[in-house]
Amino acid sequence: MICAPFEQIESSGVRLISYDRPNYGQSTGRPGRTVVDCVNDVVTIAGALEIGRFVVAGASGGGPNALAAAALLPDCVTAAATLCGLGPMAKTAFDPWFGMLPPREAELRVVYDDPAIFRSNLDKMRDNFLGLTDEQIAIQHANAS
């Protein structure tokens, strides 16, 4: 049962608290934000819940946020964990990965080399997807099985 781990956590006296990063779930966007901006969110939540010391964890894109909170709130954060956390988003950070993805390398590099082309390609993909008929979607599902 999927709830069992949460019931065990609750019965041990641990409070598991989660929030949505900007543009995820039901949170509003925050254009121009950086990873360290999440620290203000963590401080606000901890303050509202009257929590002085806590552990932070983040999965995927939340991993850098957990690390930022741990680095900038050493008096509050007792431990940090990341699960499949993202690495640095600088162009050079992806160079080792490109060799593992030869068929898609050019597509991935265009994100950094020419963002306008990347955006145009995304727009075309969206338009193609939205233009699919029910019959075409059914064929895609049948072929995927």
Instruction: Assign 120 a pLDDT band (cuts: 50, 70, 90).
Output: confident
User: Rounded to an integer, what distance in angstroms lies between the CA atom of residue 35 and that of residue 63?
Assistant: 10
DSSP conformation letters of 27-86: PPP-TT--GGGHHHHHHHHHHHTT--SEEEEEEGGGHHHHHHHHHH-TTTEEEEEEES--
- In the chain, what are the domain boundaries? 88-145
More confident residue, 20 or 50: 50
Convert the pLDDT of each residue in 60-91 to its tens digit. Answer: 888 889 999 999 999 999 999 998 877 666 55
pLDDT at 77: 97
Residue 52 has pLDDT above 70, yes or no: yes
User: Which pTM does this prediction carry?
Assistant: 0.58
At 1 the pLDDT is 43
